[in-house]
Amino acid sequence: MKDDLGHPVDLTAPARRVVSLVPSLTEAIAATRPEAVVGATDWCTHPADLDVTRVRGTKNPDRAAIEALRPDVVLANREENRELDVERLRSVGINVWVTKIETVDEAFASMARMFAALGWDEPGWLADAKAVWDAPAAPSGLRVAVPIWRDPWMVVGSRTFTGDVLARLGLVNAFRESDSRYPHVELSDIDRDDIDLVLLPDEPYVFTADDGPSAFTQVPTVLVSGRALTWYGPSMLTARDELLAAMD
């Protein structure tokens, strides 16, 4: 089979040793076949009891440690991982499956293909999560902004999984027409009277009650789970209700 970027990945038997460089995919694999996960990044925080070899971060994986784990396949993502690291792993004969996910539908389709490539049956949680997000949302007309960093400020722009999550919730991303997926903006571009609400997630920047809300003088803010807003995988089973409850 070919991964989401069209690169062939050939496994002669169902994968038994998987290294994941993507927190969402780590959680997906651990929820499906936990004994298969042998390595993950330091950022792979779910499930909470995940006890595997850590291979540093998504942008600076320890390739020697990965090679030593003798994985059948390494899971990566076009946005979260560097092409250079993927190519270097492939150059030493390691299979790397790269996902490309920019919408909710792509998330479900990509993970279904990934499980098929691994030689595994599609897990039940995937169909359950799809059913959750197939339910229509009543358009609220609420214009929102989602900062992902401050100093400098960056927000969710166009062509992103998070942006599609917002649309699926009936919200309007104020920066959906941006040329950039994550544009740099001034605070005044977010804190303005034609934006109804600012969602402050706890990742990648860790916005907290003491770090973020006080910057805004015109727009109300709400703290939300970054995992619910940006992760695909088992988190999608509860993410919709979590986000709607946070904004209630």
47 with 31: CB under 8 angstroms?
A: yes
- pLDDT tens, position by position, 36-73: 999 999 999 999 999 999 999 999 999 999 999 999 99
Domain boundary residue, one of 107, 132, 157: 132
Position 141 scores a pLDDT of 85
pLDDT along the chain (248 residues), means of 10: 95 96 98 98 96 97 98 97 97 97 97 98 97 88 96 97 96 96 98 97 97 97 97 96 92
Note down the domain range covering 43.
18-132
Please check whether residue 53 lies inside any domain of the structure. yes
* Counted domains in the chain: 2
Phi-psi region of 70 (alpha: psi -120 to 50; beta: other; left: phi over 0): left
- Note whether residue 100 is domain-resident: yes
10 belongs to a structural domain: no
Give the integer Cα–Cα distance in Å for 152 and 56: 25
DSSP the chain: -B-TTS-B---SS----EEESSHHHHHHHHHH-GGGEEEE-TT---STT--SEE-B-SSSB-HHHHHHT--SEEEEETTTS-HHHHHHHHHTT--EEEE---SHHHHHHHHHHHHHHHT-PPPHHHHHHHHHHHS-------EEE-EEETTTEEE--SS-HHHHHHHHTT-EETTTT-SSSS-EE-HHHHSSTT--EEEEESSSS--BTTBSGGG-SSS-EEEE-HHHHH--STTHHHHHHHHHHHH-
Q: Do residue 113 and residue 73 come from a single domain? A: yes
Q: Which of 132, 152, 177 is the last residue of a domain?
A: 132
Based on the fold, state whether residues 69 and 162 are members of the same structural domain: no
Which of 88, 103, 132 is at the close of a domain?
A: 132
Looking up residue 44, the CATH number of its domain turns out to be 3.40.50.1980
Q: Is residue 103 part of a domain?
A: yes
What confidence score (pLDDT) does residue 142 get? 94
In a shared domain, residues 127 and 222: no
231 and 158 both lie in a single domain = yes
Does residue 1 sit within a domain?
no
The pTM for the full model equals 0.94
